[in-house]
A and B are shown apart, each in its own frame.
Chain A
Amino acid sequence: MHERPVTPVDDPPRRLYADQGVADRLFRGVLRGGGTLVLAIMLLVGGFLTYRAWQALSVAKWGFITTETWEPEGGNFGIAAVLVGTILVALVAIVFAVPLALGTALYISEYAPPRIRQTLISIVDLMAAVPSVVYGLWGLFFFQGKVVSLSRWLATYFGWIPVFEVDGADPRDPLATATVYTSSTFIAGIVVSLMVAPIICSVMREVFSQAPVGEREGAYALGANRWGMIRSVVLPFGKGGMIGGTMLGLGRALGETIAVYLIISPVFTIQPHILQNGTSSVSSLIALRYGEASPIGMSALMAAGLALFLLTLVVNFAASSIVARSRSGAASDS
């Protein structure tokens, strides 16, 4: 080696430089191009939705959020009814799905014998991949007939709670037809809950299984039994994943189309009575009306789709930021 100069003055910091070569630069270019292409597609979808929705939004103004009817040709349309319907279906779904998913996730990660654990995980993952039309069929042809008696019972004894009220049903009339209880938010929500429960369950199970072994054994060493260990280690550790998984399921429930479309009978008024026949959701509105839409009608449907997209977007981002910020740090892939 040669002598270093004594004075550090003429030793400027060197420029770090790696010769990448033509192939590598080309490769980077291709990668960058692929990323840009995907970004362009995504921006195009969002931008086009917004652009086309603008026409309808500028006609309807703020009335778009508060109007219940859907008559775009007459300029009188809004998403109040369908948005409320969507949210109610999703809430019913979450109310049923979360306890089931939580129980199943705890069962698989804590209670199930290790031999069958992998099989159970595969079954739950498979259920998350079952097409929604299959759940819709089950709900339409099997479940709807069975759940009517439960609806009737709830409406009879808990009808004083506003949500469970059913107009036009007389519980004292034994010959009353059951049609007032069919095609309701309640039934659609339960069917959607079965769809989203596997998704929620697999996120929760993933997080629970990551609870540190040292802390588990510490809890046992301090004399906790299994439930004590779960309550003091597994559940606090998995709290972020539980909330994140729930919101992920909520996002899916909000966007669900076919299972809801098959079951509900559409009405365009705000229907807060979840047991009663008739409700609506944004996605089933689109599926129902896209065919006959005039340009302004199309634009209005775009606006409804945009509103739904924004809703699921907010829910999903909240979910992933909660999961990422929590201690669990597990990925929340759907």
Chain B
Amino acid sequence: MTVITAQSPPGDQGPQPSPAEPPAPPAAGTTLPGRRTTRAEARRNLSTLRATDVYAMLGAAAASLCVTWLLFDRLLPFNGAVGFVVVAYALFLGLYALLVSFDEDGPAVRDRVAAAVVQSLGVVMLAVLAFVVVYTLYEGRDALPHLNFYTESMADAGPIEPLDVGGILHAIVGTLWQISIALLICIPTGLVCAVFLNEVPGAFSRFVRTMVEAMTALPSIVAGLFIYATFILALGFDRSGLAAALAISVMMLPIIIRASDVVIRLVPGTLREASYALGTSRWRTVWHVVLPTSRSGLTTAIILGTARGVGETSPVLLTAGYTAELNMNPLHDPMVSLPLATFELVKSPEPTYIARGFGTAAVLLVLVLVLFVIARVIGGRGPGQLTRRQEHRRVKASRRDAKRFTAYAPADQPSTRSAPTRSTP
């Protein structure tokens, strides 16, 4: 329909009427008897949903609800919400199959039933998972509105103090310290190792990759136990934020390495080869081609690793100790983190402590959510795909280059003067 003829100016094919009349049907050719060719074509309905399908589904749903009600309320000594739902669902599937089988054959019936089962499983899982999150946020409603919840520690809050006193500042500070130290350890080591796995192929790097893969299986509590036995028992340090950060690092490092390894492997080989073909050395290729190309993916890998590390309780439980006081020094004395504070608070029988525990969990959940959203925003695109701003910046840089080249060129036309050897990196 949108054939642009040579006369029409390019770019404004929108509001104009269709420029060319539909060509007249050829005079000679096949004539089909009994068929009018001039009738205007109606737009066809492409939807695969038919009225009978909807009727069958609604009918089955209504019938199963009624029958289940009858069974539970009148005929059988059943009760309980779970049983009701299960029986109703089973009846629904059976009745739906029966209704569909009135006008379809066997494979179609199986198709419909399978579609119903798959869709309901998907909806159930997503609903339950969403409910877990919403439940935590909802239960945190008692503690979260109090401003002191974010600005005080639990040092002054005894078991029967109301929610107006005490907060989780100590846990927030502890989490920030621990994850910062862990990232300080994990980012350089992890990235160097991931680059090593890709850029220095050979038997040794294959072995390292296997070992890293093996360590992703390390249960987090065993990572905590390792640091507890070495750093605290054998070397004689305190339980401290540093020990917790080390335990988190042992757990996070393989995760980050593995994710970064996958991302770096996705860098197109042609880019690397182009760089080598220009005579670039290895480290320049890695620094100027491989890492920038996979930057968004690497960021995602690190942020997702951080989200895992922030939420881990068990390594911190063994290594950080528990305190109700604010501790700004990660090298000495116990330092609590958000998941650990949640864990310790909800073990108490006091309702206010449990409310605070849920509040802490809600804060932790929001933190993980924010990290995750950041990771999605940054890492939603593959290597080499640019955001609008990046693209804009690239275009500007290349315009600058072009201007620079033209500034060089007309000064003396022949090639007595060499072209700029190095463009902006």
Contacts and interface: CB of A to CB of B under 8 A. Distances in A.
Contacts of A134: 132-133, 136, 311, 361, 364-365
Interface in B353-374: 354, 357-358, 361, 364-365, 368-369, 371-372
A35 interface: yes
B129 A129 contact: no
Contact of B219 (A28, A99, A136, A257): A257
Interface string A24-55: 10111011111111110111010011001000
Interface in A125-168: 125-127, 129-138, 140-142, 146, 149-150, 153
B114 A255 contact: no
Interface residues of A, number: 96
* Chain B interface, >50% SS class: helix
Given A104-B121, A198-B129, A287 B214 contact: no
B132 A194 contact: yes
Contacts of A331: 262
A140 B217 contact: no
B361 A35 contact: no
B129 A123 contact: yes
A328 B251 CA distance: 28
A216 to B, nearest CB: 15
A227 B215 contact: no
A332 to B, nearest CB: 10
A38 B135 contact: no
B107 A225 contact: yes
A42 B214 contact: yes
Interface in A1-41: 20-21, 23-24, 26-28, 30-39, 41
Interface stretch (A64-72, A265-273, A309-317): A309-317
Interface in B202-228: 204-205, 207-208, 211-223, 225-226, 228
A244 interface: no
B262 A333 contact: yes
Most buried by A among B115, B129, B311: B129
Given A45-B226, A133-B361, A258-B343, A320 B213 contact: yes
Interface stretch (A77-85, A107-115, A177-185): A107-115
A91 to B, nearest CB: 17
A168 B394 CA distance: 74
Given A23-B281, A129-B368, A225-B108, A334 B318 contact: no
A48 B229 contact: yes
A322 to B, nearest CB: 14
Given A38-B253, A287-B317, A315-B217, A100 B125 contact: yes
Contacts of B310: 131
A298 B132 contact: no
Contacts of B133: 127, 130, 134
B181 interface: no
Most buried by A among B229, B310, B347: B229
Interface in B105-160: 107-108, 110-111, 114-115, 117-126, 128-130, 132-133, 135-136, 139
Nearest to A140: B346
Given A48-B229, A107-B121, A262-B346, A333 B258 contact: yes
A110 B200 CA distance: 40
B333 interface: no
Nearest to A106: B118
B115 A141 contact: no
Interface stretch (B18-26, B165-173, B188-196): B188-196
9 contacts: A27-B282, A34-B195, A38-B212, A38-B253, A45-B215, A130-B365, A149-B82, A227-B107, A334-B216
Give the 3 A-B CB pairs with smallest separation, nearest first.
A103-B121, A131-B311, A107-B122
Interface of A: 20-21, 23-24, 26-28, 30-39, 41-43, 45, 48-49, 52, 99-104, 106-108, 110-112, 120, 122-127, 129-138, 140-142, 146, 149-150, 153, 194, 197-198, 201, 225-228, 230, 251, 254-258, 262, 283, 286-287, 290, 298, 301-302, 305-306, 308-309, 312-313, 315-317, 320, 331, 333-334
Given A134-B132, A137-B342, A227-B111, 14 more contacts: A28-B200, A45-B215, A45-B250, A111-B122, A120-B126, A124-B129, A126-B369, A130-B365, A133-B311, A137-B357, A230-B114, A286-B222, A287-B221, A333-B258
